[in-house]
Chains A and B, each alone.
Chain A
């Protein structure tokens, strides 16, 4: 199965700053079929990005995704207070679908 490694484990930033999260795959992600999710404490995850760079419905344009092959990035251009959470990447190009271990973005 494809192993996804997210870095850093924790990102300490302030509101208004830019956040850059990395997701590296152990082998090429077919079709760039990679998604990003946000999870706040006590809540279910929420889909942010799919197909590496397509924002899900209702997701603000400060969230953007990029990458292909084995290296993918989620960028939050200017952090809002509600953005502080844990973010997970997921590949769905090869069965079984797999998730990365998560990156916590904290103040």
Chain B
């Protein structure tokens, strides 16, 4: 059974940093692209970032490019998102999401339960 468990959320001041983690199990982690998708309170879904199965290629939405860094550790089956220079508009539930594809973001077949990041002074 595929399981994705996010951690690291919380309240942070504007301009601050936070690191999200996602522990994956139930599938061969290095075979699949992994993604972060966020959802602001009462709003729709926004794809944030993805990383290929090998970890060689990363993808970012324009809204986070240069501020967020995605990475993966195949020895620990863990996905991470380092978030810097946080803004109020980054406030959202962040989902760790498994992709069907090995090389680039495509459709998303398994989702974690999400972790809340609140950027507020």
A contact set with B: CB distance below 8 Å:
33, 35, 37, 39, 43-47, 50-51, 56, 88, 90, 92, 95-102
Contact of A44 among B46, B105, B114 (CB under 8 A): B114
**Which residues in chain B, 90-107, are within 8 Å of chain A measured between CB atoms?**
95, 100, 104-107
Chain B residue nearest to A50 (CB atoms) is: B107
Complex: how many Å from CA A50 to CA B4?
21
Q: Return chain B residues, CB-CB under 8 Å to A44.
A: 95, 111-114
Q: At the interface, is chain A mostly helix, strand, loop or mixed? A: loop
Q: Return chain A residues, CB-CB under 8 Å to B107.
A: 33, 35, 47, 50-51, 90, 92
Is B26 in contact with chain A by the CB < 8 A criterion? no
B contact set with A: CB distance below 8 Å:
44-47, 50, 59, 61-62, 95, 100, 104-114
Known A-B contacts A45-B45, A88-B44; A96 and B59 likewise in contact (beta carbons under 8 Å):
yes
Q: Return chain B residues, CB-CB under 8 Å to A95.
A: 59, 104-105
Q: Return chain A residues, CB-CB under 8 Å to B110.
A: 47
Evaluate contact between B59 and A50: CB separation under 8 angstroms. no
Complex: how many Å from CA A43 to CA B62?
27
Complex: how many Å from CA A77 to CA B58?
39
Known A-B contacts A96-B47, A98-B47, A99-B47; A90 and B59 likewise in contact (beta carbons under 8 Å):
no
Known A-B contacts A99-B44, A99-B45, A100-B44; A35 and B108 likewise in contact (beta carbons under 8 Å):
yes
